[in-house]
Amino acid sequence: MVLQASGSLETLQPFVRRPLLTAAAGLPGGGGRKEGRKGEDLVLEVPVGTAVFDDETEEQLADLLVAGETAVVAEGGPGGEGNLHRASSVNRSPSSAGPGLPGEERTLRLELKLPVDAALLGLPNAGKSELLAALTSARPRVGAYPHTTQSPELGVAYGPGGEPLRLVEIPPGDKYVRHLDRARVVVYVLDATEPDPAADLARLREIVQARRPAGGPPEVIVLNKVDEPAAAPSRLGYPVSAMTGAGLEEFVAALAEAVRSAPRPEPFQRAPRTRLKPVREATLQVWRRDWGFEVSGPAVERLLERTDLDRPDGFDRFQAGLDRLGVSRALEEAGVAPGDTVRIGTTEFEYQPG
């Protein structure tokens, strides 16, 4: 399965209704040494800024920050061996072929973290939506009551030199603060009509420090609503009025300078995937049960997956493989007798010495 970043998507909502995704399987080979058709890649588009995690191990698998960037998050299994691979000096035309191995199955967690130049962070009713609307062509919902914004709102402002500044307004709530992870600059939006803006600033900084404890991103402080009668004088940040436009030019110039000086995020480097060679007898385990003997180990399980036991020559090949892997010897050391039940995975058979 391949994930591809798309600039035309802004949400992961389509994946909510598709919890199980499966790629198409390949086709069997044919006569005349013809290989079967490989299974087609399952390519899924996700928004730019999607981080991909293995939900069981918490390993980060990808970080798609550029439109068109792709990541293979689950690989298909290798194809099986045709009967040509089973030919020998004794059996020149074997009639059986080995099946392919299944592909990877994993549970993924997708997190959308918008890559932006600046995040507008403020307490409810501080005027974040008004400020975004005043600076950009975005039209977020504006209301004279807390928690007006229910989802992140994006917009593009322009600095003094015409440089675009991608902004996001972050609504309150734990599920939205992850968008702070990608912001190069954090804009603390304070309400000039509040009795203690400094205390509000301290609360906001705690939110950022919880997400980005290593120094945190550069910050710009803006004191909004200075035009209102209830506004108290303060030296905190840039005094502005999103309603009248007062002070916005100076604020945008400071924001553009902060973005220019902010370090760019380091590109994600996934650790190379190591494919361990199967250790045979070292990982072979045999348990004696009330009903017989249970055998496990990657090598013997792989042998079972690639053998067609419904064919007589397939079972003979399987028996030879058990001898080669040391399974027969391990069973005999555990006390197996002819006719005892042996189970490998969900497959059971009667033990018969070779």
The predicted pLDDT at position 98 comes to 57
Residues of the chain with CATH 3.40.50.300: 118-261
Q: Which CATH architecture has domain 1-112?
A: Distorted Sandwich (2.70)
In terms of CATH, what superfamily is 285-350? Answer: GTP-binding protein OBG, C-terminal domain (3.30.300.350)
Residues of the chain with CATH 3.30.300.350: 285-350
Place of tokens 């059971």: 348
The predicted pLDDT at position 157 comes to 94
CATH 3.40.50.300 fits 118-261, yes or no: yes
Block means of pLDDT (10 residues each) for the chain, length 354 residues? 86 78 68 64 87 87 88 74 54 56 78 89 90 84 49 87 92 80 92 94 92 84 94 90 94 96 77 43 76 88 78 75 84 90 89 78
* pTM tops 0.85, yes or no: no
The predicted pLDDT at position 135 comes to 93
Q: Are 208 and 180 in contact, with CB atoms under 8 Å apart?
A: yes
The predicted pLDDT at position 92 comes to 54
Residues of the chain with CATH 2.70.210.12: 1-112
The predicted pLDDT at position 277 comes to 37
The predicted pLDDT at position 242 comes to 93
